[in-house]
Amino acid sequence: MTDKLSEFGLIAKYFVPLATHPGALALSDDAAVLKAEADHDLVMTADALTAGVHFLPDDPPNLIASKALRVNLSDLAAKGAEPVGYLLALALPQSIDDAWLAEFARGLGEDQKTFGVSLLGGDTTATPGPLTIAITAIGRVPHGTMIRRSGAKLGDHVYVSGTIGDAGAGLAILQGKVAREPDAAFLIGRYRQPTPRVSLGPKLRGFANASLDVSDGLIADLGHIAETSHVRIVVEAEAIPRSDALKSFDPDIVRAATAGDDYEIAFTASSPIPAGLPVTRIGRVEAGQGVVLLDGQGQEIAVPKAGFTHF
């Protein structure tokens, strides 16, 4: 970590300017304070990202910062929550210098403007490595309207936002597992800087029965809904939305359905969805357990591994 600044000098230079919410107290205290609202619930989520696991050590620092924040905003969106702010904890190796921190803070600042959030507080510490970034994001929903994983009902349709599998392909390109091709920049961008569906999430309140974000792979994450809701989810392989870039790069639907880092919203609903909602129907909820992937003839497709696992 840079030896030019003390811990508090580092905070003052790079992170106090990001603490725009009055409750952050300009990072001058040991805690932030948020005003409680009688008609709203606070929704909180936390994700830790580690170099070499969730991002590549040589990724641009502004994009590392952006990804760290966005994966948390994605969790809030899937719960139907509007983001308010976040806490940031950094474990910084000695290799991190002022230039890296300046770019990291720039990435956070740009996303704060994009998504209307503020840094509220956090902590910094030194580590022999690897670089670790932990964010706790805070959002709000009208009382009792947070969308849980466990609400899927028999007969529900299953939907997903955006496209699936792009980020996995982007990671494979960055790792040198496959050759670069014309759409490499698009696929790499989907891995390095996901798009949290913060405008979509609140629109799901009131008709989505169960929802989560797709972080570890579509099949794996739908498995969480199936398990907590005590149902079986059937996914139609040909209905899974894929970008043109991915289709030309890798037509394997199983790889797309099990790759991580998409950060799209997958949800179930029994009521008709509002017109114009940018989602695709990909399956249904039945009695039973687990998740199955079917081909166009209704035959089950073998899925050796449902998605990414941490342990």
Going along the chain from its start, the domains and CATH numbers come out as 35-142 (3.30.1330.10), 149-294 (3.90.650.10)
Q: What percent of the chain has pLDDT over 90?
A: 77
| Amino acid 256: pLDDT | 97
Taking only the tens place, the pLDDT of each residue in 139-180 is: 999 999 999 999 999 999 999 999 999 999 999 999 988 777
Query: How far from chain centre, in Å, is Cα 220?
Result: 14
- Across 34-64, b (16+ Cβ under 10 Å) vs e yields eeeeeebbebbbebebebeebbeeebbbbbb
| Amino acid 2: pLDDT | 42
- Across 274-305, b (16+ Cβ under 10 Å) vs e yields eeeeebbebbbbeeeeebbbbeeeeeeeebee
176: Cβ contacts below 8 Å, ≥ 6 apart: none
Cα separation, 73 vs 51, whole angstroms: 20
298: Cβ contacts below 8 Å, ≥ 6 apart: none
| Amino acid 35: pLDDT | 84
Work out the mean pLDDT of the chain and round it to a whole number. 93
Please tell me which residue, 24 or 259, carries the higher pLDDT value: 259
Name, of 8-22, 42-56, 174-188, the range with top average pLDDT. 42-56
Taking only the tens place, the pLDDT of each residue in 256-273 is: 999 989 999 999 999 888
Cα separation, 7 vs 275, whole angstroms: 51
Beta-strand pair 232-236/290-294: parallel
Six token digits for residue 287 = 């009695």
Cα separation, 42 vs 126, whole angstroms: 31
Taking only the tens place, the pLDDT of each residue in 194-231 is: 999 999 999 999 999 999 999 999 999 999 999 999 99
Please return the burial class of 309, using the count of CB atoms within 10 Å of its CB with bins 0-12, 13-18 and 19+.
exposed
| Amino acid 275: pLDDT | 85
Cβ atoms of residues 48 and 133 within 8 Å: yes
Cβ atoms of residues 282 and 235 within 8 Å: yes
Q: Please count the helices (runs of H) and the strands (runs of E) in the chain.
A: 8, 10
Q: What is the mean pLDDT of residues 269-293?
A: 94
Cα separation, 245 vs 263, whole angstroms: 18
Model confidence band, residue 10 (pLDDT cutoffs 50, 70, 90): confident
Cα separation, 40 vs 35, whole angstroms: 11
pTM score: 0.93
Model confidence band, residue 32 (pLDDT cutoffs 50, 70, 90): confident
Taking only the tens place, the pLDDT of each residue in 118-137 is: 999 999 999 998 999 999 99
